[in-house]
Amino acid sequence: MKFKTALVLSLFLAISNFSIAQNYNFATYNIRFDNPNDLGNLWKDRSVHLFNLIKFHQMDIIGTQEGLKNQLEDISGSLGFPYIGLSREEGGEKGEFSAIFYNPKKFQLLEDNTFWLSTTPQIPSKGWDASLNRVCTYGKFKDAGGQEFYVFNIHYDHVGQNAREESSKLVLQKIANINTGNLPVIFMGDFNIDSKNPAYQAIVNSDFEDSRDTSVIPPYGSMGTFNGFNWGNTPENIIDHIFVNQGVTVHRYGILTDNYGKKYPSDHFPVLVEVSFE
């Protein structure tokens, strides 16, 4: 009887200490800045649909691009999610952000920072042949099971090809320097490049893979991510990407084309992946 009791107790303790990997939904979403000239697609009209899209698809962490401070506050208020990041302009409050939102019920923020995509990443600056200042915001998070991981979120320049290539080199080097514990990393954003671009190739030839290529379930949705608010347009190029390192398993990948009355919540489609950490 004592042997059986001890065996049952041992099995109970083993089961109690066994951790089942938790799946999470991560997304990158260029939300389009609050432009008063976007008649028919003003932020005040489309924002509620963007909030509802995020809620319906149960996104746990969202890397956003182009958001202005008022938009970020609107999203945070609707979702109940904090966000991290500085704007790309001097002072870190005015202008566009590459902010990261996260579910505080699932994740604890351990550290965060923003650096500029330039030869002087520690200060607000424009890099190489870029037309505008560009930034990368990153955060280190921990889930309820104690798993730590990093999220890096970017918005590459839309004009300067050299800037895009150098941005890939810079971010990859920053990740290597920051992620000294070899933790899982999600590297995502609006890269303004397709898979043929050397700036894309530099990433997939490193320690990262495109989540679209590693998804257990075949990729779902559109073949492009920029819709330009044009209902009649069929996007063909994927310029918003989510890359993962070997510590991340991608279960699902989708480009979400949700709409409301033949209108889109943004001029980009969000890219969503369901992942777990190895």
Domain annotation covers residue 166: no
Domains held by the chain: number: 1
Instruction: List, as one string, the DSSP characters of 157-215.
Output: -SS-HHHHHHHHHHHHHHHHHH-TT---EEEEEE-S--TTSHHHHHHHTTT-EEHHHH-
Domain annotation covers residue 154: no
Tell me if 249 sits within 8 A of 264, measured CB to CB: no
Does pLDDT of 8 surpass 50?
no
- The predicted model scores a pTM of 0.93
d(CA 64, CA 101): 8
Domain annotation covers residue 27: yes
Tell me if 275 sits within 8 A of 245, measured CB to CB: no
d(CA 53, CA 139): 23
Burial 183-194 (b: 16+ CB within 10 A, else e): bbbbbbbbbbbe
CATH number of the domain enclosing 268: 3.60.10.10
Domain annotation covers residue 84: yes
Tell me if 188 sits within 8 A of 203, measured CB to CB: no
At residue 14, the pLDDT reads 41
Domain annotation covers residue 141: no
Reported as a single tens digit per residue, the pLDDT across 78-113 is 999 999 999 999 988 999 999 999 999 999 999 999
* Least confidently predicted of 14-23, 41-50, 77-86: 14-23
Domain of 203 in residue numbering reads as 19-107+185-277
Reported as a single tens digit per residue, the pLDDT across 130-187 is 999 999 999 999 999 999 999 999 999 999 999 999 999 999 999 999 999 999 999 9
Domain annotation covers residue 207: yes
Domain annotation covers residue 103: yes
